[in-house]
Amino acid sequence: LTASAVLDRAFVVGPVRPRTFGTFVEHLGRCVYQGVYEPTHPTADEAGFRTDVLELVRELGTSTVRYPGGNFVSGYRWEDGVGPVGQRPARLDLAWHSTDPNTFGVDEFMAWAKKAGVEPMMAINLGTRGVQEALDLLEYCNVPGGSHFADMRRANGAEDPYRIKMWCLGNEMDGPWQIGHKTAHEYGRLAAETARAMRMIDPDLELVACGSSNAHMPTFGEWEATVLREAYEHVDYISAHAYYYEDDGDLASFLASAVDMDYFVDSVAATADYVRAARKQSKRVHISFDEWNVWYQRRAESRPPTGDDWPVAPVLLEDRYNVADAVVVGNLLISLLRHTDRVHAASLAQLVNVIAPIMTESSAGTAGRAWRQTTFHPFSLTARHATGEVLQPAVTAPPVSTARFGDVPAVDLVATREPETGEAALFVVNRSTTEPVGLEVDVRSLGSARLVEALTLSNLDHTWQASADDATSVLPRPNGTAALADGGLSVELPPVSWTVVRLA
Ligand code: AHR
């Protein structure tokens, strides 16, 4: 099969936004405890943070980290997680049927975020709590001192305010599984009033209202419209969440998951713009795609404990990712980048152990290693090489037929370019399950003099998974077929593959 594309430096969608490369740390399973935080681990620093994990987080290149949930946040009392550790109460976490020892809380997270070099994105509980508790947490985090909660933070060792900019007004409040689930109208009112009050403390916050938990919720569309009719003036973003998995061996549809993400983003942007018009507003509400990933929700590891079993840090949602999963993650990033005009922030869910690119063994009874899943690589390479502006290519590609989405183009790609230096990167997937595709791209307008590097992630067996023992047999490898001549870039794309090509 062959495919062609034309790239022009004038086809600019918008800037590459660092916040596109956010991730997520939830009090869920072994994400916090035994993931980012394990005081007994040999690599733990004085604060109990695993430095082996911190190194991988930096290598991953994540920009923002959303915290502390997720479903967890809808029952969370943030006050439980601050102050002397010995005096903090253990609490039942109803969302994941676990016990939270609260030895890691807001102050630990902020200290960890500083060490990791990431921007925090704080979520507040609008499930069991409301306006007052959101204000208390905001005061604790962002007010310099002289009032009760600000002074409490200082007494707890953080003299300077954290000045957290981005705040999520609850989590997935459209979902019947959510503690304190609300109708769109109820939630829209609460989000508006919470946002209005929070801005009385700090008018410059960036606030995210909950959109739908996925594009297939029965209330999708109406939820966004109703929430924004209530809260449009008070918020900056509406959230989107989406998880994909290979269903019943339907690899072709799975590889086309980005078609669903494209539809989701386009639909939410259109709905937000409809409310903008109806409410005669000039500002635009953008999208925070603050949960996205591959997640095999039907696997046993995704099911929380039951009955009287309320464990601390159980193994939950510890999906092992294969090569096809990594190709889909790479393609979802392509979708997020091509929507950089509307998606202004995004979070891969999650960061460590729980549907995560980084996995750890605990130091109890194992070697205590930290390792990279297959999905780590397209994320880190895209985060590293997508800089400057996003360019939308015109692509002609043969169709592959899928049960879920009909015919979709076998090749999907997006490019980025630094206007000053002319350095460019193309991110490409071949979604054919069987056929290699020869891709020719007209890059004359970019004026590139040389091919810097072409790396491809693929494997004859696309079900290959990394593990603690072997995380390196299948890595993105130099693609020797890539060539640049007379303004034409050519490259062979193996079936089920993700590729980055860099030009200078
Ligand atoms: O990321 C796992 C869970 O997925 C989150 O807690 C929730 O927000 C979503 O349903």
Query: Which protein residue's CA is at the shortest distance from atom 2 of ligand 1?
Result: 70
Query: Which candidate, 328, 386, 385, places its Cα nearest to that of 355?
Result: 328
Verify that 271 and 320 share a domain, yes or no.
yes
Query: Which protein residue's CA is at the shortest distance from atom 5 of ligand 1?
Result: 70
* Spacing, Cα 70 to ligand 1 middle (Å): 5
Verify that 305 and 404 share a domain, yes or no.
no
**What's the CATH code of the domain at 467?**
2.60.40.1180
Q: What is the CB < 6 Å shell around ligand 1?
A: 26, 69-71, 171-172, 213, 291, 349-350
* Spacing, Cα 95 to ligand 1 middle (Å): 10
- How many residues appear in the chain? 504
pLDDT in tens, the chain (504 residues): 999 999 999 999 999 999 999 999 999 999 999 999 999 999 999 999 999 999 999 999 999 999 999 999 999 999 999 999 999 999 999 999 999 999 999 999 999 999 999 999 999 999 999 999 999 999 999 999 999 999 999 999 999 999 999 999 999 999 999 999 999 999 999 999 999 999 999 999 999 999 999 999 999 999 999 999 999 999 999 999 999 999 999 999 999 999 999 999 999 999 999 999 999 999 999 999 999 999 998 887 778 999 999 999 999 999 999 999 999 999 999 999 999 999 999 999 999 999 999 999 988 878 899 999 999 999 999 999 999 999 999 999 999 999 999 999 999 999 999 999 999 999 999 999 999 999 999 999 999 889 999 999 999 999 999 999 999 999 999 999 999 999 999 999 999 999 999 999
- Quick check: is 48 in a domain? no
Verify that 322 and 438 share a domain, yes or no.
no
Verify that 166 and 102 share a domain, yes or no.
yes
Give CA–CA dist 435/495, Å, rounded. 5
Verify that 284 and 142 share a domain, yes or no.
yes
- Quick check: is 340 in a domain? yes
Q: Which of 340, 369, 385 is a domain's end point? A: 385
Verify that 341 and 270 share a domain, yes or no.
yes
Nearest atom of ligand 1 to the alpha carbon of 172? 8
Give the pair of three-digit tokens for residue 221: 């569309």
Residue to mutate (ligand 1; options 65, 71, 354; most atoms within 8 A of CB)? 71
ipTM exceeding 0.95, yes/no: yes
Verify that 379 and 419 share a domain, yes or no.
no
Identify the pLDDT of residue 492.
Answer: 98
Identify the pLDDT of residue 298.
Answer: 83
Q: Give residue 424's domain range.
A: 2-9+389-503
Verify that 369 and 407 share a domain, yes or no.
no
Identify the pLDDT of residue 367.
Answer: 84
- Residues noted as catalytic: 172, 291
Verify that 223 and 361 share a domain, yes or no.
yes
* Spacing, Cα 71 to ligand 1 middle (Å): 6
Say if residues 168 and 157 touch (Cβ distance below 8 Å).
no
Q: Which of 331, 351, 385 is a domain's end point? A: 385
Structural domains of the chain, count? 2
Identify the pLDDT of residue 365.
Answer: 76
Query: Which protein residue's CA is at the shortest distance from atom 7 of ligand 1?
Result: 70
Query: Which candidate, 329, 342, 451, 488, places its Cα nearest to that of 5?
Result: 488
**What's the CATH code of the domain at 244?**
3.20.20.80
Helix, strand or coil, per DSSP, at residue 423: coil
Q: Which of 364, 385, 406 is a domain's end point? A: 385
